[in-house]
Amino acid sequence: MKNVIGHQLVEQRFADALQRGNLHHAWLLHGIKGIGKHTLAENLTARLLCDSHSACGTCHACRMLEAGSHPDVYHIGLLEKKRDISIDQVRDLLGFLALSGSESERRVVILDDAERLNNQAANALLKGLEEPSPGSLLLIVCADIEKLPATVRSRCLLQHCAPLDEPGVREVLQLEFADTLGADAVLLDLVVGFADGCPGAVSCLHERNIIDALQLWSRLTENIADADIAKVENWCRSNVASVPHELIIRVLLQPLYPLLQNLKPEAFEAAQLLHKAVRGCMRWPGEVQRQSLRAAPSLLACLLELRSALRNPVIQR
Q: Which residues contribute to the site for Zn ion (CB under 5 A)?
A: 50, 56, 59, 62
- Number of residue whose CB is nearest Zn ion: 50
Burial pattern 191-206, b for ≥16 Cβ within 10 A else e, equals: bbbbbbbbbbbbeebe
Three-state secondary-structure class, residue 3: coil
Smallest separation (angstroms) from Zn ion to the CB of 56: 3
Nearer to Zn ion, 62 or 310 (CB): 62
Q: Give the pairing of strands 73-76 and 157-160.
A: unpaired
Smallest separation (angstroms) from Zn ion to the CB of 47: 9
Smallest separation (angstroms) from Zn ion to the CB of 123: 36
Smallest separation (angstroms) from Zn ion to the CB of 156: 26
Smallest separation (angstroms) from Zn ion to the CB of 58: 6
Cα(310)–Cα(93) distance, rounded to whole angstroms?
Answer: 49
Nearer to Zn ion, 56 or 158 (CB): 56
C-alpha atoms less than 13 angstroms from C-alpha of 63 in its C-beta half-sphere:
3
Nearer to Zn ion, 50 or 156 (CB): 50
- Which alpha helices (DSSP H) does the chain contain, by range? 8-20, 37-49, 60-67, 87-98, 119-130, 150-154, 166-176, 185-195, 208-220, 229-239, 245-253, 257-261, 268-291, 295-310, 313-316
Burial class of residue 37, CB neighbours in 10 A (0-12, 13-18, 19+): buried
Nearer to Zn ion, 61 or 295 (CB): 61
What spatial distance separates the first Cα and last Cα of the chain, rounded to whole Å? 51
Smallest separation (angstroms) from Zn ion to the CB of 43: 11
Cβ neighbours around 301 below 10 Å, total: 13
Nearer to Zn ion, 58 or 119 (CB): 58
Nearer to Zn ion, 60 or 279 (CB): 60
What residues does 137 pair with on adjacent strands?
A: 108
Smallest separation (angstroms) from Zn ion to the CB of 64: 10
Three-state secondary-structure class, residue 122: helix
Cβ neighbours around 267 below 10 Å, total: 17
Nearer to Zn ion, 48 or 172 (CB): 48
Cα(191)–Cα(5) distance, rounded to whole angstroms?
Answer: 17
Nearer to Zn ion, 62 or 271 (CB): 62
Smallest separation (angstroms) from Zn ion to the CB of 63: 8
